Amino acid sequence: MKEENRALEMSHKALSDVAAEADNRGITIQRVGVKDVHLPIQVRRKTAGFVGALARIDLAVELPHHFRGTHMSRFVEVLFDFGQHPIGPGEIAEMLAEARKRLGARRADLRLAFKYFITKSAPATSAESALDYDCLFEGEQDESAFVFTLGVEVPVTLLCPCSKEISSRGAHSQRATVRVKVRTSPGEIIWIEDLVSLIEAQGSSGVYPVLKREDEKSVTEQAYDNPKFVEDILRDVVSALRGDSRITWFEVSCESMESIHNHSVFAYQQEERKP
């Protein structure tokens, strides 16, 4: 169509909806949506109330084979509407229901990644400071089911058992990151705070924003007394997760940024509880 004619025609009719056009390729698209939308949100705390956070969000729906495209602006509208209210698993379900409704979709999924701060007391002086944990809320919903996944990343200190055993003095240690995702039985909620505590207890030592000298002595000695391979911490986290009857599925990885290498070592496990 010539630009000139098109301009004329434009003034006489409503804007056509190209995305709503029929499609004859016969392909239902599993997921289509928006990615890396940044939005301030409110996250429910375990203790009463909620706290502000900054989320990076992906939201997608299934697109039936007979539509050419989806309506991308509606995804962002759904996100903005919910950005004002405290968000927990229940609200994730509501957001997905709203996205499915506004987009006429059978299925939708959502991923919110955000930093969450938890106040920690230093081990000797009890000095308080807040540590940042990378967290995830993931939800997936269709006509019959809603699956919610909670994810946390917990930094810990790992001290190498081999290095300790074979060396006449000292033992190399490093920061490691334990990433855990869990799903629970319907009606059960696991709070970020509790999942973080469960994981942190499995490191050679925890990490802290503020450590005075007495605290540094304490974490150094604790790590030295408690050497762990990535294999050890993975197994200890797996054992703890297996022991929580609310959990129906989990995924665990531990990555250790080795202080004696320029690469990482890691361990990984995914399990589903047999009903």
CB of 93 to a copy of itself, least distance (A): 22
Q: Which is nearer to a copy of itself, 7 or 201 (CB)?
A: 7
> What residues contact residue 163 under an 8 Å CB cut-off, 6+ apart?
170, 171, 172, 227, 260
CB of 145 to a copy of itself, least distance (A): 19
C-alpha to C-alpha distance for 133 and 217, rounded to whole angstroms: 24
Q: Which is nearer to a copy of itself, 98 or 216 (CB)?
A: 216
Of 254, 247, 248, nearest to 269 by C-alpha is: 254
| Contact present, 129 and 119 (Cβ < 8 Å) | yes
Paired with 50 in beta bridges are 44
Paired with 157 in beta bridges are 175, 205
| Contact present, 176 and 227 (Cβ < 8 Å) | no
Both tokens of 50, joined, read 């909620």
C-alpha to C-alpha distance for 105 and 238, rounded to whole angstroms: 36
Q: Which is nearer to a copy of itself, 149 or 173 (CB)?
A: 173
CB of 151 to a copy of itself, least distance (A): 17
CB of 31 to a copy of itself, least distance (A): 4
CA distance readout (Å), 178 to 56, 86, 254: 20, 27, 4
CB of 23 to a copy of itself, least distance (A): 7
Q: Which is nearer to a copy of itself, 26 or 186 (CB)?
A: 26
Both tokens of 137, joined, read 């809320």
Q: Which is nearer to a copy of itself, 91 or 109 (CB)?
A: 109
Q: Which is nearer to a copy of itself, 194 or 221 (CB)?
A: 221
